[in-house]
Amino acid sequence: MIVWVNGAFGSGKTTLVAELHRRWPEALVYDPEQIGYVLRGIVEVPKGNFQHLPLWRRQVASMAIGLVEEYGRPVLAPMTVVHPHYAEEIFGALEAAGVTVHHFFLEVPADVLERRLDARVVAPDDPARDEAARRWGKAQIAQCVAAVDTLRPGTVLLDGERPTRELADEVLTHVGTEWQ
């Protein structure tokens, strides 16, 4: 089983997955962004977004399938995927492999996302990189907010302004996992 936590940059995906993992320690945490970093070191990335690489999408699905099959443990994946075609490629491959996917989307208003991104520090020792990451995240807000209208059927919308603890309760209840 894969619990995919989707949403805009700054919506709280990583924070929610950390809380889920704290409560569900047997789950594996898989960040598909790491696949992008590997590819970025090898090939040119169109428009700075590795999601545009078909190889990234295939490798993300392949790694997720491999983790489920090889380790037989649930997988928690925090990753923004809002382009409908890209989401279909990834989730379709997972489903074709017989992997159960629970897809959650953290819905957060644009102004709140912008404030969160302004407060985020990605590279404390590199102000230029930190600002570039902030600008890039902000440039994605409109597309991420609009994605709510194009999400796959069965996606569970979560109010990303609620406390993380409550969101984790909702996710765990939805996937039917016993937790403490």
DSSP 42: T
Q: Is the pLDDT of residue 180 over 50?
A: no
129-179: per-residue pLDDT in tens? 889 889 989 999 999 999 999 999 999 999 999 999 999 999 999 999 644
Residue 180 lies in a domain: no
Domain that residue 75 falls in: 2-175
| pLDDT on residue 32 | 98
The pLDDT-based confidence of 122 (bands split at 50, 70, 90) is confident
In this structure, is residue 70 part of a structural domain?
Answer: yes
Please state, in angstroms and rounded to a whole number, the distance separating the CA atoms of residues 137 and 62: 26
Mean pLDDT of the 7-29 span: 97
**3-state secondary structure at position 40:** helix
Beta bridge partners of 4: 77, 103
| pLDDT value of position 99 | 97
Structure tokens that stand for 84 in this block:
């409908």
Mean pLDDT of the chain: 94
What average pLDDT does the segment 54-71 reach? 98
125 belongs to a structural domain: yes
**What confidence score (pLDDT) does residue 46 get?**
82
| 96 phi/psi in degrees, rounded to 5 | -60, -30
pLDDT of the residue at 177 = 61
Q: Is residue 109 situated within a structural domain?
A: yes
Domain count for the chain, please give it.
Answer: 1
Q: Are 64 and 91 in contact (CB under 8 A)?
A: no
Report the CATH number that the domain containing residue 35 is assigned in CATH: 3.40.50.300
